Structure 1
Amino acid sequence: MEWFAAEDYELARQVLQRGIAALYLIAFIAAANQFPALLGERGLLPAPWFLRRVSFKQSPSLFHRGYSDDRLLAVAAVGAGISATLVVGLPQSGPPWLPMIAFLVVWALYLSIVNIGQTFYGFGWESLLLEAGFVVAFLGSDQVAPPLLVILFLRWLVFRLEFGAGMIKMRGGREWRDLTALMYHHETQPMPNPVSWFVHHLPKWFHRGEVIGSHFAQLVVPFFLFTPQPVASVAATIIILTQLWLVFTGNFAWLNWITIVLAFCAIDDETLRAVLSFDGLSTEYPPTPLWFDVVVIAVIVFLLVLSWQPLVNLFARHQLMNASFNRYHLVNAYGAFGTVTKVRIEVIVEGCADENPGPASEWIPYEFKGKPGNVRRMPPQVAPYHLRLDWLMWFLALGSPDSRWFQMFVVKLLEGDRRTLRLMDVNPFPDAPPLWIRARAFRYRYSTWAEHRATGAWWVRTPVGTLLEPVSLPR
């Protein structure tokens, strides 16, 4: 079926398959490094406890057959291994069913992790990675032309991602409508990076321009993804450039990177040849097997049926943000930062080794790998890696209603739990765990240029209260 082939999208297919696989590789590595401490058998929110309370139907996962930390690490290792082969293109060099199976296995393995990840996996980019991985499974191999229906559905995914985020902003805080949102965001975002401080100090007119650019890229440009070339390629390029700015100015796990990868679904080889003198990739394909066409058509029809609720949600008065309408995380609703926090509050966790702490006792803070703490430490670059504990500490400071994990986190620090301590940047009590833990809240703001030159500090902080009074283990 000639109409079914998108022969001029070979580079797009290579970027989509290898890029999504690379992000799966990062996600599996992050799971291996963090899941046992956060959600393992002795984690902060133990997965076995969760699995006893939900059924497979409610939350599909291979771990319903039994969870152990060793099994989790095995799943992560297999997922990372298959993802690595997809990054280098090994399955894609075979018949079309081979990359299809590889991506579906990776999707199922990561779905098994996400569906028992509870609060620590409650981020929109988890669903986005799962949906993207499922869809690109049907792009085929080098032996068939990229299927046009899959390319078009990926544009629908990018449209939901961008337009949904834009609509959330317009329905959200007034700061998006009066163009002041980015006067605060670079300072109050969950995890600033090394550039965020500098961008925050740019003129107000620049930040207003950022907001205007965001609205244009998210509310206007996505419609042009469905127009003929080269307009669709121009629209995709605008989305990519705006996402690169977000990569440059913040740490949002793989959210921006996966959006960049997905936007390539609208960039064709012909446009690249015209603009960059790019010769393109080989477009001589043998006939596509009938079974592959049938499978792709059936899958796209299935996904279009699932698209009804996300479509309605885009224009609903009470639009849902980062919502999955099915337990397999297919065809989701997306959006981020409907409101922007104007004041940054940080929770600082401190330990004390004194038997009976008094006014003169020394309280030593625990430093996290990504979130602000030490005012003289430049915010690090973390993304596309995802530090889950650090992110939840940001939500904790905002008054997150689910703080069970934090209570267990305090217990683990008092016990000197090695897995938990590996999630921290530095263990301030290397010889023995502290006898007491407390948590205080501070108002953090960026230092001015003058303050930074005088002190070397990136932050200025002021105490605003106590989140947790000193606690200790029973003795």
Structure 2
Amino acid sequence: MDWFTAPDYWLSRLVFQRALAGLYFVAFLAAALQFRALIGERGMLPVRRFVARVPFRKAPSLFQLHYSDRFFAGCAWTGCGVALALAAGLDSWLPLWAGMLLWLVPWLLYLSIVNVGQTWYGFGWESLLLEVGFLAVFLGNDEVAPPIVVLLLLRWILFRVEFGAGLIKMRGDACWRKLTCLYHHHETQPMPGPLSWWFHHLPRPLHRAEAAANHVTQLAVPFFLFAPQPIATAAASLMIVTQLWLVLSGNFAWLNWITIVLAVPALHLPGEAPDVPAAPLWYEVVVIAVAALLLGLSYRPVRNMLSRRQIMNRSFDPLHLVNTYGAFGSVSRIRHEVVVEGTTDDVPRRDSQWKEYEFKGKPGDPHRRPRQFAPYHLRLDWMMWFAALSPAYADAWFGTMVERLLENDPATLRLLRHSPFPADAPPRYVRARLFRYRFTTWRERRETGACWERTYVRDFLPPTRLAGVAQRP
């Protein structure tokens, strides 16, 4: 009997690998289309400035060795190409060692991007993609059955994702313990989706049932991932259903999708396993050595997870091999949005015509319905949500963004849904104002057709011109 492999999980491995390659493609596509305005040579947080002050050992990246916009674009589009090749199954046509090297390529490229991405890449799902992607290197191809130890390590990641998120909720906002957080969450989440208005208006007893079901799924069900089949399949299936519910209710980039993908290796999918030879000795040695390394690195994330002062979404090593996760330890009761406007008047006055910039995903025009973007990640829109929570989140980049809008910078404007100013006539002044947003009631929506109702709160950035852009609101 082959103690090292689990042939019955060959179909689970196949589905997992193809789906993970698809998420890699989405991640690299977002990087390729957005990097110039965010971290490019004229970006809001340029890579060159970052690598000049952060050494390689703290942020290992190809871009520590060389950076240009053309080189970054080449790496991002190469990542897209390799991800598509993996999604098409190219690794199955290669020798085992070559397939492993092919899976290593997107991991190295995306690690290079994340480690210089700064604020724009500070989200938990970036580290999660890297941690999962690293394990995928050692999952093998058609020349060998799936290694049991790698399958268990993937379940270990899923356990930490779900259990860590459950603990941070119970230790954080009291509304999770009272089962009332979802009275507000669908309205105040970072980027509502097409159905979020409807979810918000569900009866409150159902919101309480949602919160209770979340606690069960995140605090109890993860332990059953390590139970014999079919119990592990049932646990993973319940997690998939829960994540699909979250997919319907909001736009959380690829967080929900990668959690679904992570649950697949725990599923015992039906299908006759193909005959494959025993795993070569060198492969067994490499996999066991990697497993030992990852288990050793799990100490600090586990200690954090069990701590009363648990922190969310933290990497404990520069390679993002084992991380800690969590989401929405606190839930906002009120939604604020930063609305950015420009005018062509030489001197801004009360009666000046201020025209609003429209972002792709974040709420703006109250009559515009939220759209579905996940698993694609709109990085600027997400950071605008954080900026509305506190101007401190925008200290490093908001002033530069305003400067680029005053220049009608094409790369920055491509991050937006619409600019109200022609390419040859940029605004003279740009300002930002803070509004309170709330979902309309059933009657208000019938009468006005608007999804949102907004109320002015205060100025976020006073009228600013190109000669003196303020760095802090």
Q: Which residue type is aligned with residue 91 of structure 1? A: D
Q: What is the SS of the residue equivalent to 1:4?
A: coil
Match of 1:367 among 339, 358, 362: 358
Deviation per residue, 1:423-469 (Å, 9 max, x gap):
00011001411000110000000001110111110000000111011
Contact 2:367 2:452 in 1 (8 A): yes
| Residue pairs, 1:20-419, within 5 angstroms | 20-269=20-269, 273=270, 280-402=271-393, 403-419=395-411
The normalised TM-score by structure 2 is 0.97
Per the TM alignment, residue 94 of structure 1 is displaced from its structure 2 partner at its CA by 2.2
Q: Distance in 1 between matches of 2:302 and 2:384?
A: 33
Contact 1:166 1:215 in 2 (8 A): yes
Contact 1:184 1:341 in 2 (8 A): yes
Q: What is the SS of the residue equivalent to 1:401?
A: helix
Q: Does residue 439 in structure 1 map to residue 401 in structure 2?
A: no
Q: What is the SS of the residue equivalent to 2:466?
A: coil
Deviation per residue, 1:148-203 (Å, 9 max, x gap):
00000000000000000000000100110100001100000000000000110010
Per mean C-alpha deviation after superposition, the further-off stretch among 371-380 and 308-317 is 308-317
Q: Distance in 1 between matches of 2:107 and 2:402?
A: 34
Q: What is the SS of the residue equivalent to 2:304?
A: helix
Q: Which residue type is aligned with residue 244 of structure 2? A: L
Per the TM alignment, residue 346 of structure 1 is displaced from its structure 2 partner at its CA by 0.3
Q: Distance in 2 between matches of 1:291 and 1:35?
A: 40
Deviation per residue, 1:193-228 (Å, 9 max, x gap):
000001100100000000001000000000000000
Q: Distance in 2 between matches of 1:115 and 1:333?
A: 17
Per the TM alignment, residue 281 of structure 1 is displaced from its structure 2 partner at its CA by 4.7
Per the TM alignment, residue 63 of structure 1 is displaced from its structure 2 partner at its CA by 0.7
Q: Distance in 2 between matches of 1:363 and 1:181?
A: 36
Q: What is the SS of the residue equivalent to 1:139?
A: coil
Q: Distance in 2 between matches of 1:359 and 1:321?
A: 44
Q: Which residue type is aligned with residue 230 of structure 1? A: P
Q: Distance in 1 between matches of 2:279 and 2:250?
A: 43
Match of 1:448 among 432, 438, 441: 441
Q: Distance in 2 between matches of 1:12 and 1:38?
A: 37
Deviation per residue, 1:17-69 (Å, 9 max, x gap):
11111111110110000011110000001110101001100110001111100
Contact 2:2 2:278 in 1 (8 A): no
Q: What is the SS of the residue equivalent to 2:63?
A: helix
Match of 1:470 among 441, 454, 463: 463
Unaligned runs of at least 5 residues, structure 2: 469-473
Q: What is the SS of the residue equivalent to 2:330?
A: coil
Q: Distance in 1 between matches of 2:93 and 2:187?
A: 46
Residue in structure 1 matched with residue 471 of structure 2 by the alignment: none
Report the aligned-residue RMSD.
Answer: 1.0
Q: Distance in 2 between matches of 1:20 and 1:79?
A: 13
Q: Distance in 2 between matches of 1:10 and 1:309?
A: 32
Per the TM alignment, residue 376 of structure 1 is displaced from its structure 2 partner at its CA by 0.4
Contact 1:86 1:99 in 2 (8 A): no
Per mean C-alpha deviation after superposition, the further-off stretch among 325-334 and 353-362 is 353-362
Q: Distance in 2 between matches of 1:260 and 1:96?
A: 26
Deviation per residue, 1:310-346 (Å, 9 max, x gap):
1111111111210100000011000000000110000
Q: Which residue type is aligned with residue 151 of structure 1? A: L
Q: Which residue type is aligned with residue 397 of structure 2? A: W
Q: Distance in 1 between matches of 2:153 and 2:256?
A: 19
Q: What is the SS of the residue equivalent to 1:360?
A: coil
Deviation per residue, 1:264-301 (Å, 9 max, x gap):
121113xxx4xxxxxx1533112211111111111111
Contact 2:7 2:273 in 1 (8 A): no
Q: Which residue type is aligned with residue 350 of structure 1? A: E
Q: Distance in 2 between matches of 1:400 and 1:127?
A: 25
Contact 1:253 1:383 in 2 (8 A): yes
Match of 1:423 among 388, 403, 415: 415
Q: Distance in 1 between matches of 2:136 and 2:237?
A: 20
The normalised TM-score by structure 1 is 0.97
Q: What is the SS of the residue equivalent to 1:442?
A: strand
Q: What is the SS of the residue equivalent to 2:460?
A: strand
Aligned pair count reads: 466
Q: What is the SS of the residue equivalent to 1:462?
A: strand
Q: Which residue type is aligned with residue 296 of structure 1? A: V
Per the TM alignment, residue 11 of structure 1 is displaced from its structure 2 partner at its CA by 1.5
Q: Does residue 461 in structure 1 map to residue 454 in structure 2?
A: yes
Contact 2:402 2:430 in 1 (8 A): yes
Residue in structure 2 matched with residue 276 of structure 1 by the alignment: none
Per the TM alignment, residue 400 of structure 1 is displaced from its structure 2 partner at its CA by 4.8
Q: What is the SS of the residue equivalent to 2:427?
A: coil
Q: What is the SS of the residue equivalent to 2:406?
A: helix
Q: Which residue type is aligned with residue 382 of structure 1? A: F
Contact 2:251 2:375 in 1 (8 A): yes
Q: Which residue type is aligned with residue 467 of structure 1? A: F
Per the TM alignment, residue 474 of structure 1 is displaced from its structure 2 partner at its CA by 2.1
Per mean C-alpha deviation after superposition, the further-off stretch among 395-404 and 26-35 is 395-404
Per the TM alignment, residue 401 of structure 1 is displaced from its structure 2 partner at its CA by 2.1
Q: Which residue type is aligned with residue 264 of structure 1? A: V
Residue in structure 2 matched with residue 277 of structure 1 by the alignment: none
What percent of counterpart residues are identical?
A: 57
Q: Distance in 1 between matches of 2:391 and 2:57?
A: 28
Q: Distance in 2 between matches of 1:439 and 1:185?
A: 25
Q: Distance in 1 between matches of 2:277 and 2:177?
A: 52
Per the TM alignment, residue 98 of structure 1 is displaced from its structure 2 partner at its CA by 2.3
